[in-house]
């Protein structure tokens, strides 16, 4: 039996990269998936791809920085599919690439809103739906940047991604006794549009012990572990899927 049979999952940032790979994998593993991104056309393409393969999917376009987006995602999950078991909170932004003293207040606030405040908003709506079932798994996609290393010009991104670990620990303290697990997934460099051009990808590959960057499907498999029954005793943790990056710093 597929590992997510009869489960319902929300996945944000699902129109490309890690989110898209995760959506396709989770649907193949039996989950009904409710997908989010800002771009309707690309998101619908993912939904159509899942349905062509016999999976079940629905789309909710919207900005994860807005509470109404998360409210609608949970509403669709509960009303159409009967509840919420899993949430992969993946959407985010790199933000400004410049030294800290050159970052404007607005750029700083926008980056934290997209990467950290959005995670708070997601949990605020997802947790009550999971409490109704008495079980649930929240996964927040963080990064090795800000947790194991700092990179030049990425202070805003690093701070926002590192903050997710504090959120994960707080959710665990509040709700683990109710059956709600929260964990952070920390990918290394991954072959997505956010990774930049080939030269940037080659540079990133050199940071990793494996001397390559990941494919999105590899990170999706790590998300599957955290979301599913194999990690039933994993809560409040950080899973590095970073090709050994943190191990060799």
Eight-class DSSP state of 113: I
Of the residues 26, 140, 144, 157, only one is catalytic, namely 157
Radius of gyration of the chain (CA): 17
User: What H or E segment, with its residue span, contains residue 38?
Assistant: none
Which residues fall within 8 angstroms of residue 13, CB to CB, at 6 or more apart? 19, 36, 37, 64, 90, 91, 92, 141
The CA distance from 86 to 10, in Å, is 6
Cβ–Cβ < 8 Å for 83, 129: yes
Strands, DSSP E only, in 155-214?
180-187
Residue 157 is among the residues annotated as catalytic for this protein: yes
β-pair partners for 141: 185
Residues belonging to the active site? 157
């Amino acid at each position: 039996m597929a590992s997510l049979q009869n489960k319902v999952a929300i996945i944000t940032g699902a129109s490309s990269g890690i989110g898209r790979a995760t959506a396709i994998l989770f649907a193949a593993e039996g989950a009904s998936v409710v997908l989010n991104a800002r771009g309707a056309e690309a998101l619908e393409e993912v939904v159509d791809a899942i349905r062509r393969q016999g999976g079940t999917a629905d789309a909710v376009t919207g900005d994860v920085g807005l509470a109404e987006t998360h409210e609608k995602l949970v509403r669709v999950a509960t009303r159409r599919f009967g509840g919420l078991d899993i949430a992969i909170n993946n959407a985010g932004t790199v933000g400004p690439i410049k030294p800290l003293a050159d970052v404007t207040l607005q750029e700083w606030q926008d980056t934290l809103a997209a990467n950290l405040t959005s995670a708070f908003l997601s949990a605020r709506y997802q947790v009550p739906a999971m409490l109704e079932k008495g079980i649930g798994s929240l996964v927040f996609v963080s990064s090795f940047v800000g947790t194991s290393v700092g990179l030049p010009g990425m202070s805003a991104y690093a701070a926002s991604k590192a903050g997710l670990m504090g959120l994960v620990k707080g959710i665990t303290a509040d709700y683990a006794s109710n059956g709600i697990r929260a964990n952070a997934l920390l990918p290394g460099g991954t072959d997505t549009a956010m990774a930049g051009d080939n030269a940037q990808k080659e540079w990133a590959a050199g940071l990793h012990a494996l001397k390559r960057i990941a494919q999105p499907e590899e990170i999706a498999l790590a998300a599957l572990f955290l979301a599913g029954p194999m990690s039933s005793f994993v809560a409040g943790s950080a899973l590095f899927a970073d090709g050994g990056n943190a191990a060799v710093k």
